[in-house]
Structure 1
Amino acid sequence: MRDLWAAIHAERAALADDLAGLSEQQWRQQSLCGEWTVDEVVAHLTAGASIGSLRWIRSIVGARFDADRHNRRRLEEHRGATPPETLDRFRQVVTSTTAASKHLPAWLGEVVVHGEDIRKPLGLPPSARIESVTEVARFFVARDFTVNSRKAARGLRLEATDGPFASGSGPLVTGTTLAITMALAGRRAYHPELTGPGVEILQARAV
């Protein structure tokens, strides 16, 4: 758990550094996460690092188990009046060890996936460490949690071209660990970075 928290903190810090020089227009850029802007995704990450299990339960019950409503309420709670304030609030939780559950690979996945949700539309290079992304990829193929990643991977052979990750059997999908991980998270923007006969199957499963 100590190693996983260290990885989470490192990925948050790297994202905060990448955000430091953004213009007002870049903060309003739509991310790869639905209709959320960069500003909103960062506020969502701050919310995730600020809510423990009991408060999460109260929040989701209060939202009548509507995850979108729950996320929007918590996002607005932690969004600043200006992008610099949103970033400052995020920096304050970089080393937080608060989480809604003990599934730390999932929360590492939150910052890896949402970090790339931000970076790719802005044209920023990926910065997630291969060790972090590999941990997330392994969790994603083992379990549906915040995304239906296990269902997406079912019946496919996934092989990373830049690291040790490999999983499953069936039609082959190859690509970087990050591209595979993002595709498992339903991000269609990463499908062109994958090759193999299993890619069309993965594309059809993206939500």
Structure 2
Amino acid sequence: MPAVGPGMGENRGDVWAVVHRERRLLYDQLARVPPEAWEEPSPCPGWSVHDVVAHLVDTARTTRLGFVLGLARAGFDFDRQNARGVAAARGVTPAETLERLRAVVDRRTTPPAPLATRLVEAFVHGEDVRGPLGLVGDYPGRWVGAALELQARTGTGLGGAREHVAGLRLAADDVDLVLGEGPAVTGPVISLLCAASGRADHLEQLAGDGVPLLGHRLFQAARPPR
């Protein structure tokens, strides 16, 4: 079982290399998807696959200053800011949005947040796109583990998963990673990351006494997982 190598002190260049790889892989897969499939609903309530891809374009374009200014214009409402970003980044057609994704593959701009949030963005939203389309991702487990470690200690109000996984023992069965203490939740590290981040569709990939509690918390949260 491979170990989860990097911690939060990982090299910035390594993080960006992983993020750029994820964007390229997603672009390559989407280039083979028929346009009508882009309207499939995603796990993000109210968003289609097309909307999620536009969100990925928007966040890849975002700078620290741009994020702060955009949040202020949105009345400090994160959901409103996200919706505006999607509207601005979404093309008239899937082909146009796909070209916008290609154009941002190698960007290194980021909102004012820990760099590892770019991993969370790439992996979780990658699944938000692939799942409804029946596509399979090729995720580097050690880096998915790094993203899960960040989520487990970041509050849900900041897009993390701390309240979702508190008092649970998360154990990946495909990388050497165990987080927390309590009733067990076991399964692939990508499913642990996605479920912890609010994607209830990944609960069926998990096992253990802690799964019902995690599912209950996701249901109780009842807010769009962005």
Is 1:174 the counterpart of 2:169 in the alignment?
Answer: no
Instruction: Judge conservation of contact 1:120–1:126 (CA < 8 Å) in 2.
Output: no
Q: TM-score, normalised by structure 2?
A: 0.88
Q: Which residue is 1:163 aligned to?
A: 175
Instruction: Determine the structure 2 residue equivalent to 1:88.
Output: 99
SS in 2 for 1:92: helix
Give the Cα separation in 1 of the matches to 2:127 and 2:188.
14
Is residue 2:139 matched to residue 1:128? yes
Cα drift, residue 139 of structure 1: 0.9
Partners in 2 of 1:141 and 1:2 — Cα distance?
23
Q: What's 1:153 paired with?
A: 165
Distance 1:33 1:128 in 2: 20
Greater RCO (CA < 8 Å, at least 6 residues apart): 2
- Please, which of 163, 177, 198 is the counterpart of residue 186 of structure 1? 198
Query: Is the alpha carbon distance of 1:11 and 1:28 closer, same or farther for their aligned partners in structure 2, counting shifts above 3 Å?
Result: same
Aligned length: 207
User: Given the alignment of the two structures, is residue 71 of structure 1 paired with residue 45 of structure 2, yes or no?
Assistant: no
Structure 1 runs, 4 residues or longer, greater than 2 Å off: 144-148
Once the two structures are TM-superposed, the CA of residue 202 in structure 1 deviates from its matched residue by: 0.5
Q: CA deviation at 1:147?
A: 2.4
Please list the CA deviations of residues 85-133 of structure 1 after superposition, one character each: whole Å capped at 9, or x if unmatched.
1000011111100001241111110111011011111111132221221
Which shows bigger deviation, 57-66 or 119-128? Answer: 119-128
CA contact (8 A) 1:32 1:117 kept: yes
Contact 1:33 1:114 (8 Å CA) reproduced: no
Tell me the residue number matched to 2:117: 106
Q: Can you list the C-alpha shifts for 1:64-93, whole angstroms capped at 9, x where unaligned?
A: 011111111111111111101100001111
Residue equivalent to 2:40? 29
The corresponding residue for 1:199 is 211
**Cα distance in 2 for residues equivalent to 1:150 and 1:11:** 25
**What CA distance in whole angstroms lies between the structure 1 residues aligned with 2:23 and 2:153?**
24
Unaligned segments of structure 2, at least 5 residues:
1-11, 222-226
Write the distance in 1 (CA, Å) between the matches of 2:118 and 2:112: 9
Contact 2:171 / 2:179 at 8 angstroms: preserved in 1?
yes
Relative to the length of structure 1, the TM-score reads 0.96
Gaps of 5+ in 1: none
CA distance in 2, matches of 1:111, 1:144: 19
Residues 21-54 of structure 1: CA distance to partner in whole angstroms, max 9, x if unpaired? 1112211111111121111111111110111111
- Partner of 1:65, secondary structure, is coil
Task: Please report the RMSD computed on the Cα atoms of aligned residues, expressed in angstroms.
Answer: 1.2
CA contact (8 A) 1:138 1:165 kept: no
SS of the aligned residue for 1:49 comes to helix
